[in-house]
Structure 1
Amino acid sequence: MDDPAVPSASLVAQLAQELQRHAPFAQMQADELHELLAAAAQAYYAPGELVLAPEHGPVGQLHLLRQGAVSAQRGLADTAGGFHYEAGEMFPVAALLGQRPVTASYRSQGDSFCLLIPAATVQAVARRSAVFADFLSRRVAQFLALSRRALQVAYASQTLAEQSLETPLAQLLRGAPVSVPPETPLHEALALMEARHVGSLLVADAEQRALGILTRHDLLSRIVLPRLALDTPIAAVMSSPVLGLQLGDTAQDAALLMSRHGLRHVPVLDGERLVGIVSERDLFALQRLSLKQVSSAIRAAESVDTLKLVAQDIRRFARNLLAQGVAARQLTELVSHLNDVLTQRLLQLVAVARGMDMGQACWLAFGSEGRSEQTLATDQDNGLIFVSDRPDAERPRWMAFAREVNEALDACGYPLCKGGIMASEPACCRTPQEWLQAFNEWLEHGAPEDLLKASIYFDFRPLAGDAELARPLRELLGRHGAALPRFLRQLGENALRSRPPLNWLGALEGQTLDGREGVDLKLQGTALFVDAARLFALAHGLAATGTRERLEAAARLMQVPATESEGWVGAFEFLQMLRLRGQMEGGAGAPTNPNWIVLETLNDVDRRMLKECCKVARRLQQRIELDWMR
């Protein structure tokens, strides 16, 4: 290594311009960045030269890689490989902040130039710069935010949406709600609605507790057509009970509530006290497609041909949400919700046509739909529970019903499952007793095919019919999952079969598909987190099916530090977002695998974030090895 040289004033200016291409320097104030660079010394490392090692003692400088590459290896004990740093990245952050030696050996890969910034300067700038401090302590979350912001800009020209579905309802309220006591005569209530130019009127008691609601939509059916006297108390015609949300709930929560119950207005409560109301117009005022518009069109469809047309709006709606900067969790939940609505409508149409009683059955969603994590390129994974004392005699009738639904879903853009995980197959069309027996056998035997079935069927969710028929299955998993250590170990082994796309140096290592280097974001990305979350859920008896909810709940029970569990969730959601973006941008020349991302198409932030996510996945797998593989 050459002797470190303090950069000149002209070089500081040049370096500042150079570093502003990378996070977090682009978001920092100019004086903060100049303070870092003015105190820095520049060092050169030859190919293969040792940069840092445990024997060097506590780290006193932050290394900011300006050119070249540096890899870190932890020795033979770390079978998962090392870390790889490229231009614009900093290391070793954890050791510097902890004032301890590094635990790995860092070596230069080629000719490398680093800026060495004293720890005292790093700490001083971090105290003044929230951007810099947050980036040092929460790199995954910061990369995720930067990537989402870039994605929002990229899609902004394709939509009129301006509001984020993450906005708390407290920020959407425009003032006190218009409300009246329950004894108010209709003529006074209607006059108040006209005077205040409101489309809904809340009914509340003296303590401002919501008792009911009357909307313009109710006037024709409840007052005009029945020729109700206008001195009738509003309590006689109001809708009750009121479905409301709390101040801390989000616009997304309100949108889902409206869609699921056919509402146009949602009261907002502070505890039990009524404090406001939000309407569909508040949530999607400038958006061409609203969640309720799409779901209402699906529910109103009278044929499969109509549903085929309406299903195309789901992709358009998802594109609009991407432009708002909506996070992957909310986007996949909303896509899954619309897919649920479409499936439920199909089931209604086919059940009526065939004379089937869905009160004697339950349609189950498996896999990603069961977890409410569907992307836009998804096939069918579903099953059916039916009640019968003569299952062999009645199964063909239910299978024929399910086959018509499966084929209709295929026509709407949800391909038939190549693995046959569909309600029209005998293995997926069972009575409650048969399903319980199957779940028990998979838990007790743990053969390779049983583990495959567990990875699909155990992520189930009732979608239509009698949901109580599925309750014994969830209770079985909650009781027996943790009591079968052999099965948990086998699940752990299964979760380790795929590895993150990192080479032994810790650099991204893609494979070739259609002549281009890339990564399968499902098999080498999201599936790693999904498998780990399923293992954690079974081990701790968690009822949650969503990956995020499973990871968060398990982390609390396992006493995992918040920074680590936040990394799990952030990495999983970023990978989901990359998948969604690739599927939306698919077209001529797109990879044949809808989950494939071509590495050369990634910008600097997304490429670094992808590598960071792979590191998080690798550490998560290391935890599984330590906790379940011994």
Structure 2
Amino acid sequence: MSDSASTAPSASLLANLREELVRYAPFAQMQLEHVERFLAAARQAYYAPGEQLLAPADGVVEHLYLVRQGRVTGRRGLAETAGGFQMEAGDLFPVGAVMGARAVTASYHASEDTFCLLLPVAELKSLIADSAPLADFLNRRVLRFLELSRQALQVAYASQTLAEQSLEAPLAALVRKAPIGVSADTPLAQALALMHERRIGSVLVFDEDDGLRGILTRHDVLGRVTLAQLPLQTPVAQVMTSPVHSLTVDHSAHDAALLMSRHGIRHVPVTEGGRVVSMVSERDLFAMQRLSLKQVGTAIRAARDVEMLRAVAQDIRRFAANLLGQGVRARQLTELISHLNDVLTERLVQIVAEARGIDLGRACWLAFGSEGRSEQTISTDQDNGLVFESADPAAERPRWLAFAHEVNEALDSCGYPLCRGNVMASNPECCLSVAEWRQRFGEWIEHGAPEDLLKASIYFDLRPVAGRLELAEPLVAMISAEAGRVPRFMRQMALNALRNRAPLNWMGAIETRDEGGREVVDIKLRGTALFVDAARLYALAHGVRAVGTRGRFEAIGRALGVEPQESEAWIGGFEFLQMLRLQVQIERGSREAVDAPDGNPNLVDVAALNDIDRRVLKESLRVARRLQQRMELDYQR
């Protein structure tokens, strides 16, 4: 770069630059006067194709660079073999070196004719002191991109959910209802009179120290008082429900809805500092949304046959679309979808069992893969199995297989396609006794062939769904305790995971393929799966029992001793890719996506993404690549 190629912007250029900058984060969130300060203190520089901008030998970085036009490629360390990273118009670099007052660790070159704005570090520090959006962005760049993407998505869907509040609202933000309670020795007559007088559906029961002991609801009165013909002088303590499911003011309405649905309850006490300060009811949550979690869950549980379940299954998709419009995050959304899928599966298993005279006290329906991790998206096939109790498994297996076949077919009719890999309970290899499952898992861990590694990556994400849930505990315990103790198995799992690489080319740009004139990326196979595989590997290595990818990353981040920002980046990158999958699937329709000509509901058209989402996609893939490089260092030496 010659001296003549570096100049202070003219007045007319400043006006044009201002319009350009406010299209990008963080300038779009900054005050206009701060944007103008940035421009006034910056100088513009031109770099020819192949020209070097920065290198480690240059010493401590003196400027923050903003790419105005063109592209800049960085290469360093393992990136020399795994590929570089690329900046395009609107990108700031080298953020880490500038904030750390150090030299860069990569060499930066112009990939084409490139114009950059260079801001002196001293001017940057002054601006950071006055501009919170800029400071926050530079300190938490990936996480800020994720938040901006979520906000943009919420705006895009706002017309669908204008009349609805978000389930993300903390319980502290809801109108507080003073808790109504009685002492444990209060006669039923007095408690019921209080409920009638206040027109409430429940009263809390406190001990002498104001500690919460239980709750009495109208449902309790019918089942435990009226039908049991108890005298009204009976103390409340004898008929109350205890212990009580409660939440704190820091929990969200989403947490309350999920708690109610999981336990079939209608009231949840809200605590602050250990004391009950409010009550949230099913009616409160229903008022927040036209189609409620409780409403869908109740409809599923009330279904009498498969035909009714087919109709209700469509509500799960509509409910997910509504929540996406409310800006609910990927983790919560996939957790809700998986929960409702669990409820539907449980009810369907019960319906088929009753029709066939099957005793569910002797078996447990298992979820594997994404359902096992509670990470199901809208378009998802079946991954399930059955574990049963038997002294003679071979003799009893045909009956269990016939039962499982009917359940698998019914799930397919409800919109959950049959697994193309035949990972289903109707497959004799997935319908085993406890001892048989343990023997199979043990063989994979001790002597696993290459095809067994793929099976382990599906089956080891295991969770019980219906029937006698405790039958799954020996399997879960074995996976968490044994897998990480066999170095050969762990290395094989790592090598298997590393066969699928982050779709970034040698320059660091997103690597796409042409699909009917669209430049697409399989956001599952070459996106979320990279994070899922890494989280599973390190969870097995450290005996982490968590099954969900987020929970695994939180636990292994602590176990590996990484900085919180790094584990937060793993979680943020994974959840952004999950949200992108959900968005595509909801827009296309779940079953339509599965039956589409390309047969793949996870293809994202990169060119069709907005500027923020395209940047976050690239950042997320870069995080995935760094995570894979960590796996290489840990397991390929």
Determine if the TM-score, normalized by the shorter chain, exceeds 0.5: yes
Find the counterpart in structure 2 of residue 116 from structure 1.
Answer: 118
Q: Is the 8 A contact 2:167 2:288 kept in 1?
A: no
Using the TM superposition, name which of 261-270 and 322-331 deviates more: 261-270
Find the counterpart in structure 2 of residue 355 from structure 1.
Answer: 357
Residues 284 and 129 of structure 1: is their aligned pair in 2 closer, same or farther, counting only changes over 3 Å? farther
Find the counterpart in structure 2 of residue 22 from structure 1.
Answer: 24
Q: Is the 8 A contact 2:78 2:629 kept in 1?
A: no
Matched, 1:619 2:621: no
Residues 72 and 595 of structure 1: is their aligned pair in 2 closer, same or farther, counting only changes over 3 Å? same
Matched, 1:105 2:112: no
How far is 1:298 from its partner?
0.3
Q: Is the 8 A contact 1:161 1:323 kept in 2?
A: no
How far is 1:425 from its partner?
0.7
Between the aligned residues of both structures, percent identity stands at 64
How far is 1:98 from its partner?
1.4
Q: Is the 8 A contact 2:50 2:111 kept in 1?
A: yes
Find the counterpart in structure 1 of residue 201 from structure 2.
Answer: 199
Using the TM superposition, name which of 159-168 and 456-465 deviates more: 159-168
How far is 1:187 from its partner?
4.8
How far is 1:218 from its partner?
4.8
How far is 1:274 from its partner?
2.2
Matched, 1:307 2:309: yes
Find the counterpart in structure 1 of residue 39 from structure 2.
Answer: 37
Within the candidate set 230, 235, 244, 1:242 is matched to 244
Q: In the alignment, residue 520 of structure 1 is paired with which amino acid?
A: D
- Which string of whole-angstrom CA distances, capped at 9 and with x for unpartnered residues, describes residues 454-495 of structure 1? 111111111112222222222222222221111111111111
Q: In the alignment, residue 462 of structure 2 is paired with which amino acid?
A: F
- Name stretches of at least 5 consecutive residues in structure 2 with no aligned partner: none
Within the candidate set 426, 444, 447, 2:446 is matched to 444
Matched, 1:595 2:597: no
Alignment of 1:227-626 (within 5 A): 233-270=235-272, 272-586=274-588, 592-626=599-633
Find the counterpart in structure 2 of residue 89 from structure 1.
Answer: 91
Q: Is the 8 A contact 2:363 2:387 kept in 1?
A: yes
Q: Is the 8 A contact 2:43 2:118 kept in 1?
A: yes
Structure 1 distance, partners of 2:560, 2:24, is 35
How far is 1:452 from its partner?
0.6
How far is 1:104 from its partner?
1.6
| 1:585 alignment partner, SS class | helix
Q: In the alignment, residue 605 of structure 2 is paired with which amino acid?
A: V
Q: Is the 8 A contact 1:521 1:575 kept in 2?
A: yes
| 1:115 alignment partner, SS class | strand
How far is 1:553 from its partner?
0.4
| 1:614 alignment partner, SS class | helix
How far is 1:220 from its partner?
5.1
- Which string of whole-angstrom CA distances, capped at 9 and with x for unpartnered residues, describes residues 580-602 of structure 1? 00000005897641000111210
Q: Is the 8 A contact 1:163 1:284 kept in 2?
A: no
Q: In the alignment, residue 267 of structure 1 is paired with which amino acid?
A: P
Q: Is the 8 A contact 2:67 2:87 kept in 1?
A: yes
Using the TM superposition, name which of 58-67 and 226-235 deviates more: 226-235
- Which string of whole-angstrom CA distances, capped at 9 and with x for unpartnered residues, describes residues 279-314 of structure 1? 123334131111111011000000000000000000
Find the counterpart in structure 2 of residue 131 from structure 1.
Answer: 133
Using the TM superposition, name which of 265-274 and 141-150 deviates more: 265-274
Q: In the alignment, residue 305 of structure 1 is paired with which amino acid?
A: E
How far is 1:75 from its partner?
6.2
Residues 59 and 270 of structure 1: is their aligned pair in 2 closer, same or farther, counting only changes over 3 Å? same
Find the counterpart in structure 2 of residue 51 from structure 1.
Answer: 53
Structure 1 distance, partners of 2:498, 2:451, is 16
Q: In the alignment, residue 253 of structure 2 is paired with which amino acid?
A: A
Structure 2 distance, partners of 1:428, 1:539, is 25
Structure 1 distance, partners of 2:523, 2:504, is 13
Query: How many residues get paired?
Result: 630
Using the TM superposition, name which of 346-355 and 184-193 deviates more: 184-193
Q: Is the 8 A contact 1:207 1:273 kept in 2?
A: no
| 1:134 alignment partner, SS class | helix
How far is 1:173 from its partner?
5.3
Residues 399 and 512 of structure 1: is their aligned pair in 2 closer, same or farther, counting only changes over 3 Å? same
Q: In the alignment, residue 521 of structure 2 is paired with which amino acid?
A: V
How far is 1:195 from its partner?
4.5
Structure 2 distance, partners of 1:39, 1:573, is 37
Q: Is the 8 A contact 2:502 2:621 kept in 1?
A: yes
How far is 1:87 from its partner?
0.5
Structure 1 distance, partners of 2:551, 2:490, is 19
| 1:176 alignment partner, SS class | coil
- Name stretches of at least 5 consecutive residues in structure 1 with no aligned partner: none
Matched, 1:183 2:180: no
How far is 1:186 from its partner?
4.4
- Which string of whole-angstrom CA distances, capped at 9 and with x for unpartnered residues, describes residues 58-107 of structure 1? 11100001111111122677311111111011111111111222122211
Structure 1 distance, partners of 2:629, 2:164, is 41
Find the counterpart in structure 2 of residue 168 from structure 1.
Answer: 170
Residues 76 and 362 of structure 1: is their aligned pair in 2 closer, same or farther, counting only changes over 3 Å? closer
Q: Is the 8 A contact 1:160 1:288 kept in 2?
A: no
| 2:365 alignment partner, SS class | strand
| 1:22 alignment partner, SS class | coil
Structure 2 distance, partners of 1:615, 1:261, is 40
RMSD: 2.0
Using the TM superposition, name which of 308-317 and 200-209 deviates more: 200-209
| 2:284 alignment partner, SS class | helix
Structure 1 distance, partners of 2:168, 2:562, is 26
Structure 2 distance, partners of 1:203, 1:344, is 32
Within the candidate set 193, 206, 216, 1:214 is matched to 216
